[in-house]
Structure 1
Amino acid sequence: MQYGPGCFLNNETAPVTYLPGKNGHERPLTQIKFNTAGDLLFSCSKDPVIDVWYSHNGERLGTYNGNNGAVWTVDVDSESRFLVSGSADNTLRLWSVASGKCLYTWEFPTAVRRVAFNEDNSKIVCITEQRMGYQCAIRVFEINREGDGTNQSEEPLYLFNPIGSKATVCAFTLTPNVIITGHESGKVALFNVETGQEIESNERAHSGKVTDLQLSKDRTYCITSSEDKLARIHDTKTLMVIKTYTTETPLNSAALAPTQPYVLLGGGQPADIVTRTSAREGKFETRFWHKVYEEEVGRVKGHFGPINTIAVHPAGTCFASGGEDGYIRLHHFDDSYFKAQPFGAIAAED
């Protein structure tokens, strides 16, 4: 992991970094996630290991071993008790955060591409791939939090196949048993998981694959990123597009800053042409946009390939990015970030 002080509102200077110990991941990052307290950062990649790091200094705390393929996705509950992961080995796994032990494994016909806990940690939702004659499926499992966590139900509480284009990302909304999904076609939709019915959809939310979906702290709105070079903020009840951020490069991830009026975007030229692309041409920076005015206000450089995933500390004190280059870069904001007022004084609302 590379770690260093973040530089903000400076488009030319890269952060100072150093490399503590050996790399945590040997292959491109797929997702990174802070816990609710913000003291831990979980990461997964196209190698079979999940890592956990201290967020204050970038030191690796431990690993979660047991997968037999690329780990596409992780999520951690609000108590930092359970971790859930989805992998290319067609498994969904429940882990003990403290011990690193795999508590339960669900097996499916195809790979698990996205997982997420609901607000009270009682359920998890997962998306499995459309492949080898199997349809894309969304499953919801009820998590038994009693005992040591090993006594889980093998069968899903709910199972359905989303209409039309396959789902790529998902999350629980504030409304009970309603999830928001992003799709390969660019559609954003709401589903009732009990019935499998599509409640609402915005077929033209994006014109390309939705690559990431992250919720606001209160789950009333979310931000999506897409291969169509756009990131958008949506109301999670109506799916109305509230804000749009237009870039000149495909986007792989988008995150909301919880204490400042900014959104963070990451992406870059596709990995298959990175070898023919310089860092300057590839747009491998984390880009900061003003949430309200929809204008870019800063960039942080450092990665040597596309940025695949971005996460912001729940308290807004730092952010992390994971790249195709196999590195996680952890940046702590300096005073200029909190004092900067590029468009005047506007208080951010959580």
Structure 2
Amino acid sequence: MRPLMLQGHERSITQIKYNREGDLLFSCSKDQKPNVWYSLNGERLGTYDGHQGAVWCLDVDWESRKLITGAGDMTTKIWDVEYGTVIASIPTKSSVRTSNFSFSGNQAAYSTDKAMGQSCELFLIDVRNADSSLSEQEPTLRIPMTESKITSMLWGPLDETIITGHDNGNIAIWDIR
């Protein structure tokens, strides 16, 4: 078996993710530019240009219409997958380390780093009508992490819980109903 070598990043890869159908592969790295690839032949379809720091995380929604990214430039961005444009850019007080769409695609969650005098926080936002005004809106839910920062995150069944992994080895299940 001979692997496809996808060469489009200049620095180390931080996350890769397939869309639901498996025809698109999304990648992000420390070089500021997430990419989208056609998984069948490895052709790079586009680059999402807009971050000013390392991109730590990404996720694509169920319908492959929106992409969420989190970066070291203290922003999380929601992108139009097809056109590569920024739908919304949300400023944060520290680097964004995890970001995920809910299974329904109605909500997204992201977490920030414990850095620069800021505690780690988990944010929940409504992305149904995401546009540039999203940056001025308050998140639906904000949970400060008092003990340990979040290193990984995923949504639980029916969008009722968020499961977080922490740097102290703990796993927490947050009931967000």
| Shorter-chain TM-score above 0.5 | yes
2:131 aligned to 125, 138, 150, which one?
A: 150
Corresponding position of 2:144: 161
Q: Tell me the equivalent position of 1:171.
A: 154
In structure 1, how many angstroms separate the alpha carbons of the residues matched to 2:128 and 2:22? 25
Between the aligned partners of 1:18 and 1:75, the Cα distance in structure 2 is: 22
Instruction: Go from structure 1 to structure 2 and tell me whether the alpha carbon gap of 1:62 and 1:174 turns closer, same or farther (over 3 Å shift).
Output: same
One-letter amino acid of the structure 1 residue matched with residue 122 of structure 2: I
Contact 1:144 1:152 in 2 (8 A): no
CA deviation vs aligned residue, 1:149-189 (integer Å, no higher than 9, x gap): 42553321000113422211111101543111100011011
Any idea what SS the aligned residue of 1:67 has?
A: coil
> Displacement of 1:54 after TM fit?
0.4
In structure 2, the residue matched to 1:85 is: 69
1:136 pairs, out of 105, 114, 120, with 120
Instruction: Note if contact 1:144-1:151 (Cα within 8 Å) is conserved in structure 2.
Output: no
Structure 2 gap ranges (5+): none
Report the number of matched residues: 175
Q: How does 1:56-95 map to 2 (within 5 A)?
A: 56-95=40-79
What TM-score do the two structures reach when normalised by structure 1? 0.48
Larger radius of gyration: 1
TM-score using structure 2 length: 0.93
Quick check: 1:187 aligned with 2:170?
yes
Q: Which amino acid aligns with 1:73?
A: C
Residue 192 of structure 1 deviates from its aligned partner by 2.4
Contact 2:89 2:132 in 1 (8 A): no
1:102 and 2:83 equivalent?
Answer: no
Separation (CA, whole Å) in 1 of partners of 2:54 and 2:72: 5
**Cα deviation 1:101-155 (Å, max 9, x = unaligned):** 011100011000000011100000001000111110000000124xxx4255332
Provide the C-alpha distance between the structure 1 equivalents of 2:5 and 2:25, rounded to a whole number of angstroms: 17
Bigger relative CO (Cα 8 Å, ≥ 6 apart): 1
Q: Distance in 2 between matches of 1:125 and 1:182?
A: 14
Q: Give the AA of the match of 1:43.
A: S
Say if 2:31 is the partner of 1:47: yes
Instruction: Give the conservation status (yes or no) of the 8 Å contact 2:95–2:112.
Output: yes
Whether the 8 Å contact between 1:159 and 1:193 is mirrored in structure 2 is no
Gaps (5+ residues) in structure 1? Answer: 6-15, 195-350
Once the two structures are superposed, the pairs formed by residues 170-319 of structure 1 within 5 Å of their partners are 170-193=153-176
1:24 aligns to what? 8
In structure 2, the CA distance between the partners of 1:190 and 1:19, relative to structure 1 (3 Å rule), is closer
**Displacement, 1:193?**
3.4
Identity score, percent: 39
Q: Whole-Å Cα distance in 1 between the matches of residues 148 and 41 of structure 2?
A: 42
